Structure 1
Amino acid sequence: MSASTTSFLLRDSPDPAFHIRDMAAADLATALHFSEDIGWPHRLSDWRLLSDLGQGRVVEAHGGLAAVGQRWTWGTQAGSIGLLVAAPAYRGGPSERRLLADLMAGLFDRSIVLYAFGDRLPLAQSAGFHQDGGIEQWQGRPRPAPLMPLPDGARLRPASRRDVASLAALDARASGMSREPMIAAWLDHAMHAIVLDNEMEAVGFAIMRRFGRGVYIGPVAAANALQAQAMIAHLCSAATGRFLRIDVRSEIVAEMRPWLTALGLSCVTTVPMMRHGPALAVDPKVRHIAIAAQALG
């Protein structure tokens, strides 16, 4: 652990007014209220789905909740932190620093991913996180998307529960995180999920699920932008008339901006991906095109 991280963890003197504990199901309504107050689109069901995959922690102060957050462990090498949000009176204060330190400590020596929107950037930097890419958030009501040609021998097909292991393996190669429980949950809650096969072998996939004000596409894994666009086009056609969001990785989005704009989507923000610990091991033959969620990466 770096000296800067150690300093962050020890920054605040113990304060009996603050108490950190596991998040309970009864805390989700308050967490939703916190997130609505800062403009997040999450529904209670979105909080519940994400919480079921990880471990929530909360800071109590003066008889109520001051801040909430979540951590997720992805195998023995990686983890992510997200859904870190505080009550108005506690934003930017020691309760958030204490909670981030607690969430990091629970991930031990794993590499940690955190998407640092807004005022989360200086908080993450003070905890020893460094930028490692990012995403562009695109959203809107998509126009019907023209179908994209596929290479010879390739086909799109619906994903099913039988594909969990192979899609989790593709996701791990693309993201560097072992997330089979997430892939299984996303398939269980998918509106549509498709697999790109090449000569009967899965080489890419994309999942669309309900989220916030409409639907969300992610994760998307493929060898290149054209393969990703073929899958996204298929899902956009199924989402016509709905509000759609997709968070595209910054290292590939330049290849897709004109196409996303032609679909009727707009880039509304960019968010840096912050990493604490060693770089994640990824396979350059499978690219992480769009993330599963800003909370998860």
Structure 2
Amino acid sequence: MEKAASECLVVDSVQMKIGNIADADLDRLHALSMAVGWPHRAEDWQFLRHVGKGVVALDDIGRILGSVMWFPHADNFATIGMMITSPRLQANGTGRWLMRHALTELKGCNLGLSATRAAHRLYLSLGFEAEKPVYQCQGEVIEPDMQLAMPDGAGLREVHPDDVSLLGELDRKAFGAYRLPVLAESLAHSKGFGLFRNGKLKAFALCRPFGRGHVIGPVVANHDQDAIAVTRPFVAEHAGRFLRLDTRQKEGSFAEFLSRCGMPVFDTVTTMSLGQRWIPEDSAVLEDRSRIYALASQTLG
């Protein structure tokens, strides 16, 4: 890990200083993500600030020229995201400078992130290792032609804030850390469905407003059939409208379901880690173990 970053940086005659993202102007954060073509609304930035921390790069008149955020999920694990630099400053060291601030704050933690193609080389140079691709599936959705039966012995119902501890325990087994604050904040902005067998939660999905429409995630389940069962109500509800879901499932009935519903793969990013491996190898995943079928977001994992 590199030494701590300085509080100031000069790039192309632009002098920048570090500021706390919690104090940053929300409209200027929104303008930053718009400048690089990211779909985040001001409300999406605010959601992330409620569950994470971060810094921004400010010029001498207070414009925001870069950002990075981190999200501690356990004592020794965090995800990093929203690493953005103004187009005029890309490839000039600003991203590395911001990342060094994040790595200093997270010293001793195992880390995970979703790397865009533009940032992939930077993360490799900082010691991150590639693990798995994430498939960004999106589009104006349609209901699939075939009617999918509810899995045997299962019942579906809406989940509410009072269910957050149930969701948190199932999610912990799949995600690898107990991220209750993220789930609680997500539930406050989401509609959710849970699949139950014999009174026990076996799968769930949340859906909230994001970007151009809505995003489904996280989706946690043991099997494709269960994952489809908790995802399908949102597809039906948003038929004809824009819907997004980020998944590591490349093949199988869940991936086929997404494509059939009008959510083909639009783009990919790469799951990367620093320290302990984040995503178990496929051969190490038990058949009946819960897994992440859809990320909460590329930033949160």
TM-score by length of 1: 0.90
The offset of 1:32, in angstroms, is 1.1
Matched residue, 2:210: 211
- Shifted more, 259-268 versus 19-28: the winner is 19-28
1:295 lines up with 2:294 in the alignment: no
In 1: Cα distance, 2:229 partner to 2:179 partner: 24
Q: Deviations over 1:33-86 (max 9, x none)?
A: 111111111110011101111112012244443311111111112101111111
Q: Aligned ranges for residues 142-153 of structure 1 at < 5 Å?
A: 142-145=141-144, 147-153=147-153
User: Counterpart in 2 of 1:273?
Assistant: 271
The one-letter amino acid paired with 2:136 is Q
Counterpart amino acid of 1:60? L
Alignment match, 1:188: 188
Deviation at 1:141, TM superposition (A): 1.3
The structural deviation recorded for 1:110 is 1.5
* Equivalent pair of 2:151/2:225 in contact (CA under 8 Å): no
Corresponding letter in the other structure for 1:103? A
Distance 1:86 1:200, change over 3 A: same
In 2, are the aligned partners of 1:164 and 1:183 still within 8 Å (CA)? Answer: yes
2:50 partner letter: D
What is the DSSP-based 3-state SS (H/G/I as helix, E as strand, rest coil) of the residue aligned with 2:215?
strand
Shift in CA distance, 281/130, structure 1 to aligned 2, threshold 3 Å:
closer
SS in 1 for 2:133: strand
Per-residue CA deviation, residues 124-147 of structure 1 (Å, 9 max, x unaligned), is 111110011121011111112455
Matching of residue 254 in structure 1 with residue 258 in structure 2:
no
Could you tell me which runs of 5 or more consecutive residues in structure 1 were left unpaired when the two chains were aligned. Answer: none
Aligned equivalents of 1:126 and 1:277: distance in 2? 14
Moved more, 17-26 or 133-142: 17-26
CA RMSD of aligned residues (A): 2.1
Residues 1:155 and 2:155 aligned together: yes
Q: What aligned pairs does 1:218-257 form with structure 2 within 5 A after superposition?
A: 218-249=217-248, 252-255=249-252, 256-257=254-255
- CA shift for structure 1 position 23: 1.5
In structure 2, the residue matched to 1:20 is: 18
- CA distance 1:259–1:176, change in 2 (3 Å): same
Structure 1 residue matching 2:117: 3-state secondary structure: coil
Q: 2:290 aligns with which of 286, 291, 294?
A: 286
Gaps of 5+ in 2: none
Distance 1:59 1:202 in 2: 43
Q: What amino acid is aligned across from residue 75 of structure 2 in structure 1?
A: T
What is the aligned partner in structure 2 of residue 32 from structure 1? 30
Separation of aligned partners in 2, 1:290 and 1:110: 24
TM-score (norm 2): 0.89
